[in-house]
Structure 1
Amino acid sequence: MLNMEDKIKIFKALGNETRFKIFKNIFTGGYACSIDDKNPDDDIIAQATCVTSIAKQFDFALPTISRHLKEMKDAKIITMTKSKNKIYIEPNIETMKEIAECFATLVDEYEKGVVYQYDNTK
């Protein structure tokens, strides 16, 4: 279950236009990037391959894409999984379901007239 800090990280990650565009691309298709057969255990090369693949679709420098992917991974809205000779970048569906559920609850409570009081004494 996502705590308040997790939710803030997610909204911050998706609140950046560049990250949102990259995330939207990942969400609609994901990425499967081949790993160099000469260095199958080299995560840096594998990630660089994916970053290059994503950068080709956008007009951003490789370090920019890499930084945005890290931010999204830290916010737990994407996963990067290595399997055999590929690395997969995919949306974290469980996290997205929790965020959707969070909004559904807010809408439901709003429609029922639930009022929240902010307690700033804590």
Structure 2
Amino acid sequence: MSLTSAATLATLDRTGPRRITDLAAIEGVTQPAMTVLVRVMEESGLVERRGDASDKRVTLVHLTEAGATYVQARRQAGVEAFAQLIDNLADDEVEALAAALPALQHLAELESQDREGPKK
């Protein structure tokens, strides 16, 4: 799976259903490229398109159960990889990482807000 596909699935997991144009802007690709990407992920059963109940002219991309499972498995694999690496650090290095966690969390929140823009 491409990085853009994985990032798009993670975005849908964090933000809920989105328009293809919104996803393209968030992921930094063209709308036609995102349309192709969504079609491939739809064929793989990771996402589905549904009409927006509040505006019948709009189609939203939704994460399927299989897509959500994929995102969770990918996150868990990342957690396990970091845990193995952290196990190789000295105690003072682990303490330094722990002390930095609030600042790192804030950076992640700022980056997420910047990428996602206003929610629709």
TM-score using structure 2 length: 0.48
More helix by share: 2
TM-score using structure 1 length: 0.47
